[in-house]
Structures are given as C-alpha cells and as structure tokens.
Amino acid sequence: MLRIKQGVTLHGLSPHMTLAVIAVKDIYDRKGKDVVITSGNDGKHSVTSKHYVGNALDFRTNNLDDPAGEGPQIVTELNKALGRDFDVLFEGDHIHIEYDPKRPV
C-alpha cells in the first residue's frame, strides 16, 4: 500500500518522481511493507533543496524489519532501477530520492 504522511504536500511534483514512487513501491511490496511518503515540498530543507521544486521525496524506513540493514540495500536496488539521473540516499529514518539529471558523459 502507498500512503502519504499527514501534512505532506506534493504540489507541483515532477513527473520524473512518479518513476521513483513506482520503484520504491515495487521494492517495498516484495518486502511486504507499506510505502509512506514522509516529505514532498513541505517541511524544512536546505535552501537549494530539490524538494521545493517537486524533484525530491522522502520515504519512511522505520517500518522495515531492519532499517539499518535494509535501507542501504534498498538504496542499491533503487540506484540500479532509476539510473544516474536520480540521487538516492539512506538518511537513517528515511530514504531521500531526488531527480538530478546529469550531463551526458
């Protein structure tokens, strides 16, 4: 199941972030866990945060059986699934994903 934490706003969410949600949901479904979006363009982030322009989302990890062990594994899977134009970080209590396109090599 996909849930959005109360108070989270997703106004102006980039279509690219839909791919991130689908990838996270696929992984969490295989683990039998709900996906909870904990931050969109709400909350406090750095001034240059991609959250404010609809290019970043945070996903809960404290509902995993072993967040410290599974979080980094999920990040690895997401990096493979989403490719180089996304940055995926395990930040302890959540996974941060942002769309940050890179120039071709």
Give the residue ranges of the chain where pLDDT is below 70. 104-105
- Name the one residue in this structure whose structure tokens are 């696929």: 26
d(CA 85, CA 29) in angstroms, rounded, equals 24
Q: pLDDT digits over 25-52, tens only?
A: 999 999 999 999 999 988 777 777 898 8
pLDDT of residue 16: 94
d(CA 53, CA 27) in angstroms, rounded, equals 26
pTM, rounded to two decimals? 0.91
For residue 6, is it left (φ>0), alpha (ψ between -120 and 50) or beta? beta
> What's at 17, amino acid-wise?
M
Domain ranges of the chain: 2-99
Which pair of tokens denotes residue 36? 């909870």
Contact indicator for 54, 17 with CB cutoff of 8 Å: yes
For 2-99, CATH number out of 1.10.3470.10, 3.30.1380.10, 3.40.50.300, 3.40.50.1100 equals 3.30.1380.10
